[in-house]
Structure 1
Amino acid sequence: MRAVTVESFGGPEVLEIAETVVPEPAARQVRIKVAAAALNPVDAGVRSGVFGGAGKRLGLGWDVSGTVDAVGVATGWSVGDEVVALAYGADKSFGTHADYVVVDTDAVAKAPASADAVHAATLPLNALTASQALDLLALEPGQSLLVTGAAGAVGGYAVQLAAHRGISVTAVAREADEALVRSLGAARVVSGAVEPRSVDAVLDAALLGEAALEWVRDGGVFSGVIPGAQPASVRGVRTDAVEVSPDGARLAELVALVDEGVLTLRVAETYALDEAAKAHARLAEGGLRGRLVLVP
């Protein structure tokens, strides 16, 4: 099978399409024939060496949609099931940017009935990140949340999920994205200055750090999206950062919200697997409103 890998770090030019044997699932694992796999900033981080791994051959890709084509024992899944999954980890030999991927059964959920495989591939990593970040914030209906990077993938899901929970959402986004983030459920949109100490919580998907922390009221809560990179606590504000984890049960809940029309799946462009370097170059250009998706 083909798999996108890196053995030396750098720009898109270091990506390789490796030929390797098709992996076999062990107990409580399934093999998925990949139909589509989203490209995320974390993949660019792996490629450029942000997460280390020098001297190893590293596989790329965390999101997958496709069809179960082999199962280990005690999986609960059957060959032919259409699924989505999160293949967690920056230090893995092969990821979802491949013809096949093996994942643990508890990372898998039934694919959305209302979406094609390309759109479904944009759900696992970013929606789980947004959902688990909201868990850290532990807001009640009626409380206020400010989301930075609200037009992005994680931020967009966070806006929708928070609004669905009855939380009042202020979105930080460019003026050109105001209509988009309002359509996602933001009650208020700001593109510049935010009143200090004006919200109960901040979900900082844009990595603004201490600047965004200033917008949280005394005793409020802040969540970043890079573990360990959150600012230090001030004024009694609890600061934390989400580290996404595979969770098939939660992913199934998110799939249900897609089918109910609560969550919007956004695809910017698609590329063939062999065009992974072009996709990485496009990602580096920025300005995307939706995910790039690789299709084997």
Structure 2
Amino acid sequence: MRAATVSRFGGPEAVEITEVPVPAPGPEQVRIKVAAGALNPVDAAMRAGAFGGEGERIGLGWDVAGTVESAGSGVRWTAGDRVIGLCTGHRTPLGTHAEYVVLDADAIAAAPATLDDTHAAALPLNALSAAQALDMADLKAGQSLLVTGAAGGVGAHAVELAHHRGLKVTALASARDEEFLTTRGADHFLPRDEPLPAGAFDGVIDTALLGVTALAAVSDGGAYIGVWPGQEPAPERGIRVDALDVRADGAQLGELSQLADQGVLLARVSETFPLADAAAAHARLAEGGLRGRLVIAP
């Protein structure tokens, strides 16, 4: 089968389409026939060598939407089930940008019934990241949350989920995104080129990696949650500082799938590319300016 991989680090030109064996599911695993897989910034970071592995062949792709093709023992999923899932790991030999992928059965969930595979594939990594970041922030209904980079994949879902949980949400993004974010649940909007009010929020989810600038906007004893481990600022003023290391969680993903069906979460897709053009998809990602995920389909 074909898969998008890298064996040397670099720009989009480093992405290769290689022939690899079809993976076999072990106990409590499923093999998924891939219909679509979103392209995320983490894939570009892997391609560029941010997580090491020089000389290894590394598979690309974390998000997947498709159908169960076969299953190992002890699995409740059956052939033909339509699912979504998350393949975590920075240096795995096979990712989801492939014709087939094997995942642990507890890493997948039923796909949203209201979404086609292309849009369903944009959900797992970004929605799980947003949900788990909110869990880490541990704010209560009525408290205030700032989301930086709020128009991005993780940021927009953080706005939607925070609103759903009853938080008072302020979205920080480009001025052109104000209408979109207020319709998705932001109570207030701040243009990203304006200074942040000091100590104004009970917590911040800093998807824009503003660091100390975002930390200054958190009140004493509040919470700062970053999305890139090792990039978070040093704690101060009793603020709890942490960074998300997203994990696969099929049960939580199932809840998020239901929220997508209910209209709480909006899966956004900007463009689609065939697997053969995975390098072109990486080049488009590098150009920036996207409002929605790029999706690769075998």
CA drift at 1:228:
2.5
2:49 is equivalent to residue 49 of structure 1 = yes
Unaligned runs of at least 5 residues, structure 1: none
CA drift at 1:20:
1.2
Q: Which residue of 1 aligns with 2:19?
A: 19
* Partner Cα separation in structure 2 for residue 183 and residue 273 of structure 1: 34
TM-score of the superposed pair, with normalisation by structure 2: 0.99
User: For 1:186, what is the secondary structure of its paired residue?
Assistant: coil
Opposite residue 118 of structure 2, the aligned amino acid is V
* Partner Cα separation in structure 1 for residue 262 and residue 176 of structure 2: 27
Q: Which residue of 1 aligns with 2:295?
A: 293
CA drift at 1:21:
1.3
User: For 2:80, what is the secondary structure of its paired residue?
Assistant: coil
Partner deviation per Cα, 1:101-141 (whole Å, 9 max, x = no partner): 00000101000000000000001001000000000000000
2:200 is equivalent to residue 198 of structure 1 = yes
User: For 2:79, what is the secondary structure of its paired residue?
Assistant: coil
How is 1:138-217 mapped onto 2 (pairs within 5 angstroms)? 138-191=138-191, 192-217=194-219
CA drift at 1:196:
0.4
Q: Which residue of 1 aligns with 2:121?
A: 121
User: For 2:70, what is the secondary structure of its paired residue?
Assistant: strand
* Partner Cα separation in structure 1 for residue 288 and residue 82 of structure 2: 31
* Partner Cα separation in structure 2 for residue 11 and residue 263 of structure 1: 32
User: For 1:112, what is the secondary structure of its paired residue?
Assistant: coil
Partner deviation per Cα, 1:186-219 (whole Å, 9 max, x = no partner): 0100012111000000000111111100000011
How is 1:82-121 mapped onto 2 (pairs within 5 angstroms)? 82-121=82-121
User: For 2:234, what is the secondary structure of its paired residue?
Assistant: coil
CA drift at 1:223:
0.1
2:203 is equivalent to residue 218 of structure 1 = no
TM-score of the superposed pair, with normalisation by structure 1: 0.99
Partner deviation per Cα, 1:136-156 (whole Å, 9 max, x = no partner): 000000000000000000000
CA drift at 1:233:
0.4
Q: Which residue of 2 aligns with 1:136?
A: 136
* Partner Cα separation in structure 2 for residue 7 and residue 242 of structure 1: 27
CA drift at 1:292:
0.1
* Partner Cα separation in structure 2 for residue 292 and residue 265 of structure 1: 11
**Could you tell which deviates more after superposition, 189-198 or 29-38?**
189-198
CA drift at 1:67:
0.3
Partner deviation per Cα, 1:79-103 (whole Å, 9 max, x = no partner): 0000000001111001000000000
Opposite residue 199 of structure 2, the aligned amino acid is R
CA drift at 1:229:
1.9
Opposite residue 156 of structure 2, the aligned amino acid is G
Opposite residue 149 of structure 1, the aligned amino acid is G
* Partner Cα separation in structure 2 for residue 176 and residue 244 of structure 1: 29
CA drift at 1:222:
0.3
CA drift at 1:227:
1.6
* Partner Cα separation in structure 1 for residue 52 and residue 21 of structure 2: 25
Q: Which residue of 2 aligns with 1:236?
A: 238
CA RMSD of aligned residues (A): 0.5
CA drift at 1:76:
0.9
